[in-house]
Amino acid sequence: MPAKGKHRRPKSLRFTRSIAVAGTGGAALALPLMGATGAHAATPATAVTQHVEKAATAAAKAATTKTYAVKTGDYLSKIADEHNVSGGWKKIYSDNRSAIGGDPSLIHPGLKLSLGKKAASTGAAHAATHAATRATTSAAKTDQATPATDTAASNGASTSSGSGYTLPVQGSSVGTGYKVAGSMWSSGYHTGVDFVVPTGTTIKSIAAGTVVSAGWGGAYGNQVVIQHADGKYSQYAHMSSLSVSAGQTVTEGQQVGLSGATGNVTGPHLHFEIRTTPDYGSDVDPVAYLRSHGVAVG
């Protein structure tokens, strides 16, 4: 038995060593192949990661929060334009709602507003996504050529209805409707529709035309009246400021002023009319007019 034990042990050791050597040899042969494959596969991922990190860092540095003290004559849209706030006055209001309160048109001198709050993370994410897409596209082109698509053409088509008409304000619902009766109006009824918007909202021409009047309109406050190609006139009233002057030609969607609460009003809004002449008393249903030109009115 001892002899057998001595005889078996060397065999076992030699067998184990041969397995180890074979295993080592196998690993040595496999490693270069796996390393090369891994390196090839990791190249696009590495490029994406580097682009994402650089873009995120740059975006985070650029999008910094700053504090602004409201001055006399300020309104949120004006502040957003002057300080290039991404998201406009709605972004400022959203970030400072607790300080401003329930009415975005009521901001007082001295009020401290944060401009650019939460913008860093959003901007970084957007930049990172863009960088990742660009790097992935570049990597895909290395593997094979991809035929061009009609994405750009499709996007362009989706941004325009082709009717040549648009709403005077975006993202707003109609407050007081057309021909609502009431003693507060000299005609006995409401001659247009009111779009509920805070002071400083951009007011746009509903279609191409020529400005026939722009200025003070008594009870209408600051107003603009535009003649259109079909002979109808659109009126925009109670504005805080005007962006056009009489005789000027405008295009569909061009800014004509900012909403406000000038004239005979109880609060900020846009009073909008469609007329058959430039004068008061020739009104027609503005909602029906817009809908007849393919514009959806909420």
pLDDT at 76: 78
pTM beyond 0.75: no
Cβ atoms of 250 and 212 within 8 Å: the answer is no
pLDDT at 188: 72
pLDDT at 78: 78
pLDDT at 184: 62
Domain 193-292, CATH among 2.40.10.170, 2.40.50.140, 2.70.70.10, 3.30.1360.180: 2.70.70.10
Q: Give me the tens of pLDDT residue by residue for the chain, a chain 298 residues long.
A: 454 544 555 444 444 444 444 444 444 444 444 444 444 444 555 555 565 566 666 555 555 678 898 887 677 777 888 888 888 878 888 888 888 776 665 667 778 899 975 443 444 444 444 444 454 444 434 333 333 333 333 333 332 346 799 999 987 778 888 878 765 665 678 899 999 899 999 999 999 999 999 999 988 999 999 999 999 999 999 999 999 999 999 999 999 999 999 988 888 999 999 999 999 989 999 999 999 999 988 7
Going from N- to C-terminal start, the domains of the chain cover 193-292
CA pair distance 261, 245, nearest whole angstrom: 20
pLDDT at 235: 97
Q: C-alpha angle 123/127/129, rounded to 5°?
A: 120
Cβ atoms of 295 and 251 within 8 Å: the answer is no
Our separate counts of H helices and E strands in the chain read 7, 12
Q: Quick one: DSSP state of residue 190?
A: -
Q: How many CA atoms lie within 13 A of 297 on its CB side?
A: 24
CA–CA distances in Å: residue 36 to residues 25, 43, 139, 143, 269:
18, 11, 17, 17, 67
